Structure 1
Amino acid sequence: MSDPVPAAVAVAPQTATPTPTLSTTSSPHDTPGCTTPIPPSAEAGPSTLRVSVIDKWLKPNGPPKGVSFGARKLQEQDDVWSNNAWDHAELPDDFEERAAEIMEAHAASPVPDNKVTEYNARPAKYWDKFYSHHADQFFKNRRWLPLEFPELVLCCEPDAGPKVVLEVGCGAGNTVFPLLMHNENPDLRIFATDYSKTAVKVVQSSEMYPRAEHGLGQLSASVWDISSRPSDEAAAQGMTYSLPEGVEAGSVDVLTVVYVLSALHPDEWAQAVHNLYSCLKPGGLLLVRDYGRHDLAQLRIKKERLLDVPNFYIRGDGTRVYFFEKDQLGDMLTAPPRGAETGNMFQINQLAEDRRLLVNRKEQKKMYRIWLQAKATKL
C-alpha cells in the first residue's frame, strides 16, 4: 500500500456515473504531492524546527520566494479562474446534495456479488501487480512531509537521540528514502513495511537502500499485513497483536500511515489500529493521511466498482479504496485498548479535513479534493 500513481504513470481517467454528475478530471490514483498542508500540531510546530532542516527538504524545487505553500485561499475579491488550485477550500452549498446523488448511483450499480469475494480475499495480489507495472516510475519524493509532518524532521536532527520510525505501507519508499537523504541523526532507525512483497522488493533493490558499502543509515524493509492477527502459537500465549519483522512491541517513536487504512476492508480496521498501537511506545506519535468522504476520486468512480460496504470501492486495477468521514477516523483512534472496557488508545492532537479546489480554467470546471489528516499520541 502506498501513494497512488504519480501523474507521469497514472492510469486512464475514470468518469463518474453520467447522471447526476459533478465535474471530475483527476486520475483515480491521486497525487499526494499536491496536498494542502494542515497547520502542524502545537507539540512540534515550525517554530521548534531549524529552518535549515526544512529548507533541505524543500530545495531546490521549493515554493517560490514570497509564496507560502498551501496558503492560497480563495477570497471574495479573487477571480476563481485566475489559478489552477486554491487551498483550504469551502465547499459550495449544494455540494453534499449533488454528491449524495452520485452515491445513490454507485449503490444502484455495485460490484457483482460473484466478484466481491475475489477482490476482498487477496488484496495483496492486486498491489503486487500494481508495483510490477510501475516499479521503475513510482518513486516520488514527498516534499510535503516536513510541512505537514514536521515531527519526522525532528527525528532527523543531529541531536535528536535514538529514534525509531516505522512507515506502514512504504510502497516504493516515498517516505523512508527522503528521511534517509536528509537525516543527520546517527541514532535514527527506520523500518519500512508493505503487504505487497513486490513493493518491498522495489525498496530493497533501490540504490538508495542502505548496504554495508553505502553507510546511508539504518533502514529495514519487510512484508507485513497491517491487519494481520498473531499466529496461533502467539495467540495461545495471550498475544493479541502482530508486529513487523524486527520491530519490538512498544518501541516505535513515530509511525506513519499514509493512504493505507483506506486500502483495508472496514472489518480489518480494529485489528490494524490495535497493531499500530502495539508498535508504538507510550507517548509515541501516530501520523495518518488518507482519503476524505466525497473526494474527487470517489465522485468520479465508474459503475460496478462499489464493494460490499458503502464508500468502499475497487479501482480499475483491482486495488481497494475507502473514503472516510472525520468522525470515523477519530472513533477508531479513541477506542479502548484491546481487552479494556474504558479508556482510549490515543489522544488526538489533530484531526482535520483538508480540502483543495482544483480549477480547469479552459473548461470552467471546479473540482474538490478532500483528505483527512490525524496526529495522535499513544496513551
Structure 2
Amino acid sequence: KSQSVLVECTVVRMVEYHSNDFDLYEWAEEAKTIHVLPDISEYKIDTNEATSNQKLEVYHEKWDDFYSNHNSGKFFKPRRYLVVEFGSYLTRCGEVKATIVEAGCGHGCSMYPIIEKFSVSYIATDYSAEVIHILERDGMFDKSRSSATLWDVTLAAPEPLGSLIKGPVGAVMSIFTLSAVHPSKHIASLQNMRSLLLNHADPSLNGLILFRDYGIHDMTMYRHKLRYSDTLFGRTDGTLSYYFDLDYLRSIAEAAGLYVLELEYATVRTANRKKGTEMRRVFVHAVLSIHPPS
C-alpha cells in the first residue's frame, strides 16, 4: 500500500508542475497589491568586452561557491515532472538511442529522472567546475550512460563536446539555466546550443532545445531584496535570477536563429500545509528547434 501511495504522489507531483492552476494576468494584478518590489539598483556591464566578461565571470564563481556549500546534491529535488512535460520528445530520443546534452546540469536533478525513464545517453555540462566534480563523485552517476564536462554555454567559443558525443544528439536541455545568466549573454547561449545541434543533431529529431525556467511573477520574484531591472534580480549568495516572459523568450530565440514550436506559461499553486501558506509558481515552458515547424 505504501508503495502505491508513493507512486500516486509522484504522478500527482509530476502532473501538477505542468498545469495551469491560475490566471497569470489576474495574479500579476493581485501581486501588485500585496508585494512591494525593491527599488532598481544600478547594474552596469562595461561596453568593453574583456571587462564585461571579467565581471560576469564573478557570477560564475558564485555558483562554484554555491555548490561548494551544497555539495550533498540534495539542495534541489529531482525534476521528475520533466518526463511528463517533455515525454513525447524524450520517448522519441530513446527510440533512436540518441544523446541528450544538458547545458547547466547542476547536481543532476534533471538527468537522473530522464535516464531512469528513457533509453538515452546523457552529457551533463555546467560552467561550474565544482559541480562537475561533485556530480562525477556521486554514487548514482552511471558512467556507462553518462558523462560530465565543463562547458560555459555563455561564451562565443566552440563547444568542447565533440569527443564525448558518440552518436546523434536528440535534444539540448536548458532547465533553469538561462535565469542564472545575465541577459546580455542570453542570445549567445542559445546560439551556442543551436550550433551544437547543427553539428550533431539526429536528422529525424528536428534539433530541439527543451526549455523550462522561471516565469515573470513567479512567487520567488517577490522575495528578492536586490533588483537590477524589472526582470533581473540578485540573490543573497551573489548569483543572478532572471524571470522570463513569453515575448522576450520568443525574441531571443528568433534572434539566435531558432524556431519556436511550443511556448507557454505553467502556473502552479502549491500549499505548505504545516505553515498554512500558499505559493503561486510561474514557469515558462518552451520547445525550440533549429528547423521551422513542418
Taking structure 2 as the reference length, the TM-score comes to: 0.79
The Cα of 1:190 is off from its aligned counterpart by 1.6
Aligned to 2:239: 319
Aligned 8 A contact 1:286 1:375 in 2: yes
Supply the distance in 1 between the matched residues of 2:195 and 2:263 (Cα, whole angstroms): 21
Unaligned runs of 5+ in 1: 1-57, 74-85, 212-216, 231-240, 338-344
Aligned to 2:189: 272
Q: Does 1:287 align with 2:176?
A: no
Supply the distance in 2 between the matched residues of 1:208 and 1:97 (Cα, whole angstroms): 43
The Cα of 1:335 is off from its aligned counterpart by 2.5
Aligned to 2:49: none
Aligned to 2:48: none
Aligned to 1:47: none
The Cα of 1:364 is off from its aligned counterpart by 6.9
Aligned to 1:259: 176
Aligned to 1:181: 116
Aligned to 1:236: none
Aligned to 1:70: 15
The percentage of counterpart residues that share the same residue type is: 27
Supply the distance in 2 between the matched residues of 1:162 and 1:198 (Cα, whole angstroms): 29
Residue correspondences, number: 273
Aligned to 1:142: 79
Q: Which amino acid aligns with 1:196?
A: S
Aligned 8 A contact 1:167 1:191 in 2: yes
Matched residue SS, 1:288: strand
Q: 2:153 aligns with which of 212, 226, 245?
A: 226
Matched residue SS, 1:229: coil
Supply the distance in 1 between the matched residues of 2:25 and 2:164 (Cα, whole angstroms): 46
- Aligned pairs for 1:1-379 (under 5 A) are 61-64=6-9, 70=15, 87-91=20-24, 93=26, 95-96=28-29, 98-99=31-32, 105-108=37-40, 110=41, 120-138=56-74, 140-150=77-87, 151-156=89-94, 160-183=95-118, 185=119, 188-211=120-143, 217-230=144-157, 241-244=158-161, 246=163, 251-280=168-197, 281=201, 283-302=206-225, 305-307=226-228, 309-335=229-255, 337=257, 345-346=258-259, 348-359=260-271, 366-379=278-291
The Cα of 1:325 is off from its aligned counterpart by 0.8
Q: Which amino acid aligns with 2:58?
A: R
Cα 1:362–1:219, aligned 2, differ >3 Å: closer, same or farther?
closer
Supply the distance in 2 between the matched residues of 1:274 and 1:65 (Cα, whole angstroms): 35
More helix by share: 2
Matched residue SS, 2:100: strand
Aligned 8 A contact 2:14 2:82 in 1: no
Matched residue SS, 2:38: helix
Aligned 8 A contact 2:224 2:234 in 1: no
Supply the distance in 1 between the matched residues of 2:243 and 2:188 (Cα, whole angstroms): 19
Aligned 8 A contact 1:292 1:324 in 2: yes
Matched residue SS, 1:106: coil
Greater gyration radius: 1
Unaligned runs of 5+ in 2: 46-51
Q: Which amino acid aligns with 1:62?
A: V
The RMSD of aligned alpha carbons is 3.5
Supply the distance in 2 between the matched residues of 1:192 and 1:169 (Cα, whole angstroms): 7
